Amino acid sequence: MATVVDSPNKEANKSALANKKVTIVFVLGGPGSGKGTQCGYIVQHFGYTHLSAGDLLREEMKSGSENGFVIKDMIKEGKIVPSELTIKLLEQAMLENRNDKFLIDGFPRNEENRAAFEAFTGIEPEFVLFFECSEEEMQKRLLSRNQGREDDNIETIKKRFKVFMESSLPVIEHYEAKGKVRKIDAARPILEVFEAVKACFTRGDIKVNQL
Ligand code: UDP
Ligand code: MG
């Protein structure tokens, strides 16, 4: 299978996904804003498949792949893993799955991620769910969630906040200019947040949006 990594010519390389009509919703927000939790509820209510870019990278890291060390270093430092790696993992997960509706959680994390994904797959998100939350609240959640993650320590958390502000917010701004962002106040209890999330999925104007 051709991948972004294999290709001598990135521009000409297109994913087989371009032939599989898929609906994608990007789920974005700072670390600890509740993306993963809310995605679990969306899956149950709306039949999407949840793909967490961070989880895919952590699985790849643990699988003993040659990219494992790069991924481990980047995650420990709160840095963004090279696009081709993340995009390849997302592509594989979508091609392997029979579903045609995907929540992509925690990606794209910068403008380069976004442009590379759109160029390779030919797909723009149906909309972007954006979880807004104060750093104070996110920090509290990250430090109390005890998921055994190497990056949930105060030093890495500060770096992740900085990367989010500097690199990830421009992605939100890009989609905001296209009228695709649905903003949620995520600093509330889980079920209250989900009520707001539900409303975003029942607007009735969801359709596949190919480039
Ligand atoms: N990461 C990345 N690219 C992605 C998603 C995740 O490089 O598209 C890396 C990055 O180092 C990030 C870490 O994985 O800090 C954890 O991401 P995840 O989405 O799991 O956690 P969050 O920061 O949203 O809590
Ligand atoms: Mg997550």
For residue 206, the model assigns a pLDDT of 54
The ligand placed nearest to the CA atom of residue 56 is: 1
In a domain, 92, yes or no: yes
Q: Count the domains in the chain.
A: 1
Q: Which residues are annotated as a binding site for CMP?
A: 113
Query: Domain range holding 84?
Result: 20-202
Q: State the pTM of this model.
A: 0.92
3-state secondary structure of 104: strand
Asked if residue 31 has its Cβ within 6 Å of ligand 1, the reply is yes
Handedness of CA 114, 210, 195, 98 (dihedral sign): negative
For residue 204, the model assigns a pLDDT of 63
Q: Which atom of ligand 1 is nearest to the CA of 74?
A: 11
Please report, rounded to a whole number, the percentage of residues in the chain having pLDDT higher than 70. 91
The ligand placed nearest to the CA atom of residue 36 is: 2
Which residues, 6 or more positions from 55, have their beta carbon under 8 angstroms from its beta carbon? Answer: 36
Instruction: Return d(Cα 62, Cα 57) in angstroms, integer.
Output: 9
Average the pLDDT over 156-172 and give the result. 98
CA of 12 to the centre of ligand 1 (A): 28
Is pLDDT of 211 > 50?
Answer: no
Residue 21 vs residue 188, higher pLDDT: 188
In a domain, 210, yes or no: no
Asked if residue 72 has its Cβ within 6 Å of ligand 1, the reply is no
For residue 13, the model assigns a pLDDT of 78
List the residue whose alpha carbon is closest to atom 8 of ligand 1: 107
In a domain, 208, yes or no: no
CA of 70 to the centre of ligand 1 (A): 13
In a domain, 84, yes or no: yes
Residue 133 vs residue 204, higher pLDDT: 133
In a domain, 3, yes or no: no
Q: Which atom of ligand 1 is nearest to the CA of 81?
A: 7
Average the pLDDT over 183-190 and give the result. 98
List the residue whose alpha carbon is closest to atom 13 of ligand 1: 75
In a domain, 15, yes or no: no
CA of 204 to the centre of ligand 1 (A): 31
Q: Which residues are annotated as a binding site for ATP?
A: 32-37, 145, 188
DSSP letter for each residue of 169-198: HHHHHHHHHTT-EEEEE-SS-HHHHHHHHH
Query: What's 185's domain CATH number?
Result: 3.40.50.300
Average the pLDDT over 185-205 and give the result. 93
For residue 208, the model assigns a pLDDT of 42
Among the residue ranges 7-16, 81-90, 108-117, 123-132, the one predicted with the least confidence is 7-16
pLDDT category at 186 given cuts 50, 70, 90 is: very high
In a domain, 161, yes or no: yes
In a domain, 110, yes or no: yes
Is pLDDT of 210 > 90?
Answer: no
